[in-house]
Chains A and B, each alone.
Chain A
Amino acid sequence: MSKPPENAALTNRYLEKLAAKAHFIQGDEAAALGAIFAGCDFFGGYPITPASEVAEVMARELPATGGYYVQLEDELASISAVVGAAWAGARAMTATSGPGFSLMQENIGYACMTETPCVVVDVQRSGPSTGQATLAAQGDVMQARWGTHGDHEIIALAPASGQECFDLMIRCFDLAEEYRTPVIFLMDGEIGHLRERVVLPHPDEIERFPRRKAVAGQDVFGGEMVPPMLEFGDGGFVHVTGSTHKANGMRDVQTQAVHDRLVRRLVAKIESARERIAMVEVDAEDNATVAVLAYGATARPARGAVLGARRAGRRVSFVRPITIWPFPIRAVRDACRGLRRLLVPEMNLGQLAREVERHVDCEVVPISRIGGVIHSSRELYAEIEKAVS
């Protein structure tokens, strides 16, 4: 979607102004600013604790950059409008929490099937159901992977600080465009509402992954691993459908080979890029026998516990997956080579621990805390001590 040159210059000046000084803001606000700097032009959302602040900041900032904020009547409409806007050329996103995320699953699946780039922020809260609305959790990890029906792959990133909320949002939009897929931003209520220092880069330093457009003769839904896209109004008469379709978009639900080819390609599209997408922070200690693997909010006390254990002379490694899905198998396996025990503290009953267990050879010890309380460094330090002995 092209804007005339004057518009871009004005937007740039505005972003420069925003970047002029450091901010002391909540993770929600940092994520929203990340979206603004990533060139988001459409936000369709619905209020829900603890994600409402994302909507509020987008409503405040989007008119300044020429984008549109629309508050829809429910989460179902939100994700629908986001997908519609993406096909009309927008970099589109929405933000929600567990209950809303559950409602959005059908159309997240639609976005997977139609290969629509979009970003869904899920600021996880304690569930299931209404749960503890105002308290954090990490209980949507498996839902982000398998929430929608059918065979599909998804990309999900988890930030562990306000700064990462900003930086990784830009990455989310780029990944969505590069792989033509919805991307889930797995925040949590702790990081979302925690105020931290966030430094914004100069807008010129940000490179946006451009959307690749199809030309006459090219297919929009096949022919390549990640096919080029079209926008409504390009004259391509594109037919977008959630039904199984051929490479040119036309529905064909009767031929087994067509479905096989389509769905295998959709899965392979992201599977084959697993290691390219993977982002893992590893702080390895030679000859460590114990490591702590944590992501999101839990990474903070986990890192504190590791540093404390090292001060006490223990050899402990620290692994922080930033990409949750597709799970960064190689990086995690490499980091956990030769370990005896891997501690996985999570604010859920062991969702990512299950995935980690599939891929590492050592013993995996899930450390679950639910009820809206985050682990403390002291508690995790005690667990490390127990694991080392």
Chain B
Amino acid sequence: MNLIELNDPEYFQELYAATMPESARPVPSYGIEDPLRGLVPGEVEVREGAPKQRLLRYLRREILPTTFCVGCGGGTVLNTFTHAIDEMKIDPREMVCVTGIGCSSWIPSPYFLCDTLHTTHGRAIAFALGVKVMKPEMKVIIIAGDGDLAGIGGNHLIHAARRNIDLSVFLVNNFIYGMTGGQVSPTTPFGVRTTTTPYRNVEHPFKIADVVAAAGGSYVARWTTYHPFQLMESMQAAIRKQGFSFIEIMSQCPVSYGKTTGMREGIDILKYLRDASVNVDDAKGMSEEELEGKIVIGKLAERRRTEFCDGLRRLNQERRQALAAEFGVGAESGR
């Protein structure tokens, strides 16, 4: 290592100029007024010879098409999410998407065009807590996978539910560690073969939505990628809810989950999700044996409790008002 080189800023300018031609750099997007401006309803935008959906304006178009596998449920979740944001007319400048590591963490980041924070494995919720406390007016949305949020990040998940911090967490559950090639995850069903359970899985899976409901989540639901309309409405309810909202989205991973279970097409796993789903209202009248192997979908819990950031702000306000009284300084709007 040549210290002189390291200390020479010219070296970097040259390296920079040589490998980053201007034309390859998309300009950072500042102050976008309206993602759909200029696109008349009913009009189809044609780019590179193919007609494009108007909702693509919500995405970082320069990196499309996505890197999702053929038939990946992650794409469906991104699609549903974008529709949900569009229908609610949320300004992407008010959103922060925080994700971890894994295929599901790639759903909003980097595809969705808003402030995105792509963090380390399992820690998305902890990072998001710091973001939300300092920016309570922004919508902080976390989309990550089962291994990420329920495995390594399990602790952060249940504590965030306990605190009731106003985050929207969409856990995309494809029952596997997909990105690394198909290892067993905390939500892999009992008995299933994976690359690290080559004989069979001897562990029982989490019903993670139930765990979060018990930990104190304010809005807890479970849907699948086979139910995109219900999922979209649930996402909207989750984002609107002031408090910790959580949706477990069962999703298909035809490549990593499919290869050892034999369901090698997105269609196969979607059919499995369709057939295994039982609405929560119907499930109430069913026994344990009948529910074996079923996925209970619907809104599982909803409650109202003091939200974490509200509590912090109120504390500060009280303290500041007491100080203001002590110093005889005018009252102020507390941060």
Residues of A whose CB lies within 8 Å of any CB of B are: 1, 3-4, 6-7, 9-10, 13-14, 17, 41-42, 44, 63-64, 66-68, 70, 72-74, 76-78, 80-90, 92, 106-107, 110, 214-220, 222-223, 225, 232-233, 235-243, 246-248, 250-251, 255, 257-258, 260-261, 264-265, 267-268, 271-272
Contacts and interface: CB of A to CB of B under 8 A. Distances in A.
B323 A77 contact: no
Interface string B125-137: 0111111111101
A112 B3 CA distance: 20
A6 B330 contact: yes
A84 B319 contact: no
Contacts, number: 225
Given A85-B133, A232-B131, A264-B6, A72 B117 contact: no
A215 B31 CA distance: 11
A268 B327 contact: no
Contacts of B155: 73-74, 77
A14 B335 contact: no
Given A9-B329, A225-B9, A3 B335 contact: yes
Interface stretch (B18-26, B173-181, B237-245, B270-278): B18-26
Given A77-B159, A235-B32, 16 more contacts: A17-B327, A66-B334, A73-B156, A76-B126, A84-B98, A84-B128, A85-B130, A219-B28, A232-B117, A233-B94, A233-B115, A237-B93, A240-B117, A248-B28, A257-B15, A268-B6
Interface stretch (B47-55, B106-114, B260-268, B289-297): B106-114
A92 to B, nearest CB: 7
Interface residues of B, number: 66
A89 B135 contact: yes
A235 B16 CA distance: 26
B255 to A, nearest CB: 20
16 contacts: A7-B334, A41-B134, A63-B320, A66-B320, A74-B155, A85-B131, A87-B130, A214-B28, A216-B30, A225-B12, A235-B93, A236-B115, A237-B93, A237-B113, A239-B60, A243-B118
B12 A87 contact: no
Interface string B95-112: 010100000000001100
B323 A10 contact: yes
B19 to A, nearest CB: 4
Nearest to B99: A241
Given A85-B130, A237-B92, A250 B110 contact: yes
Given A10-B332, A88-B130, A265-B12, A232 B135 contact: yes
Contacts of B15: 257, 260-261, 264
A167 to B, nearest CB: 25
A87 B96 CA distance: 11
A271 B6 contact: yes
**Among A73, A88, A257, which residue has the most Cβ atoms of chain B within 10 A?**
A88
A268 B10 CA distance: 12
Smallest CB-CB A-B distances: 5 pairs: A84-B130, A80-B126, A85-B130, A88-B134, A81-B130
